[in-house]
Amino acid sequence: MKRLIGLLYLCLLWFPFVSYPLPGDCDGGKDCEKKHDFFYKIENKIKTVFNDYGFRGDFLIAVVDECGVNGYAVINRNIIEGRYTDLNIDSPFYIASHTKAFTGALMCMLDEEGTLDLNKFIADYLLELNFGGGINTADITLKSLLNHTHGIFSVRLTWKTAFLGYSGLNSEILEDINNDFIYDPSHKFRYSNVGTIVAAIIAEKVTGKNWKELMREKIFVPLKMEHTSCNVSDYNADLIRPSVIVSRNNEIISSGFYKKDITMHASGGIISTTKDLSLWLAANIRQDEILMNKKSWILLHSPSALQNRKYFTYDRFGYGLGWDIAEYNGDTILTRFGGYAGISCHISFIPKKKIGIIAFSTDNRAFLLPHLMANYVYNLMSERDAESIIENELAFFREAFLKQNNLSYPSDSLLLQANNRNDAITGIYQTDSWPSIEIKKSGNYYNFIWGVLKGKIYLKDDSSFTTNTGVIIRDFKIKNDTLFTGSLIFIKNMKK
């Protein structure tokens, strides 16, 4: 393994456009040539795929061992076209659902210190969550909340916490779940955001500190993750890597970062940097007791639920308390990915080889690129025929790319033009238990504002409209001061 890790320390003269070394032991001999060759292959493969598919946005990949980042590579159009880029391992980006691995670790830490017991039940901690008597919460353990076997699903909770925003009060979240839920009594593995969010509410109740405070105190500070936060407001918004939505004509439809503090939650609510995430991933690789003991790490990383799902090239057979456990080319690999509005985050490691990958992309059509390139690096390190393997994997990659590339987006030619007749639709529309929708005039067009999301309004057909908020495309109709979208009905507030 030492020899394989040695390949990752790179000579500076070989990184003219995308790859960057961290300090290593390159002495100009044969070892240095191997290091050159290793990242030169990665650099060229990234450039080839990026150009072949006309990707926009950013891409970054880093290799991590027990000590942190060994080397990394970046690419975007600025780099390809010879312009300056500020993309590097200190660039903040949203890790989306990899947040679940952090929350799982937090809950294991609280269990270890005796603050709560993961084998106890919701009813032991959260009587306010009662589902109107429709579910027996004495049958649902805290562990099952973290491994997706709890069986609880709530559309309202998911939309408000991830997309739209809400008051920020746990009482509102609990009311949403109590009154809007679906329950699967089989307790089979079914992935959702609900369990981790409920677990975080329990953690707040037993500690008196909210999830964001606990993450900082228990994980970010001990690991010296100084540029990691659960609040968007802690960053210069212009520096967070934005998602980029691209049309089939390779035109940028929208670009931006659409999260607010209120939509940063325990299932998807961390912004970090590659350098900081390398400290987190390295701690997982070595099971660092600065956070918790080996028994707790094993609890986090070992299968506590069975699954039989394939994602891209990964045969997932288990789930720990925040990590998917899968097989890839004969290796057991732990992964926890994340995606949001075009951003795709890959974080994985192979425990036996004590090596991991961090990668992310921001072009919506490139959501599999972090996984494709992570595989390429793993295969190079394992001295497999990486070139043949990536050619095979590219077949599935192309299929996924074409599906995204062929998506339709509202055309500017159909933008609803502002005029006296159309002004009649402006106003605030309300319904019970959901954020209000505001139709607001802005210059020569109108905006659809739902909670924290906003998008221009386009004509869909003679009787309906559509909007692209960057996160979701939403169709709606307005008739007699009533707004219909999906199954929801909003009534215009006529008060002046």
Amino acid at 488: L
What's the pLDDT at 3? 33
Amino acid at 316: R
What's the pLDDT at 2? 34
| Strand-pair partners of 363 | 244
Estimate to the nearest angstrom the gap between the alpha carbon of 121 and the chain centroid: 28
Q: What is the CA radius of gyration of the chain?
A: 24
281-324 pLDDT per residue, tens: 999 999 999 999 999 999 999 999 999 999 999 999 999 999 99
Tokens of 259: 């999260």
What's the pLDDT at 152? 97
Contact criterion met (CB below 8 Å) for 323 and 345: no
How far is it, in rounded angstroms, from Cα 25 to Cα 29? 10
**pTM for the complete prediction?**
0.93
What's the pLDDT at 34? 67
Half-sphere exposure of 354 (CA within 13 A, CB side): 13
**Nearest in space to 347 (alpha carbons), one of 3, 107, 96:** 96
**The domain at 412-492 falls in which architecture?**
Beta Barrel (2.40)
Q: Where does the chain hold its CATH 2.40.128 domain(s)?
A: 412-492
Tokens 């209000």, residue located: 436
Mean pLDDT (10-residue bins), the chain, 496 residues: 34 36 47 69 92 96 93 92 94 98 98 98 97 94 98 97 97 96 96 98 98 98 98 97 94 95 98 98 98 98 97 98 98 98 97 98 98 97 95 97 94 94 97 97 97 97 93 96 97 84
Contact criterion met (CB below 8 Å) for 325 and 317: yes
143-159 pLDDT per residue, tens: 999 999 999 999 999 99
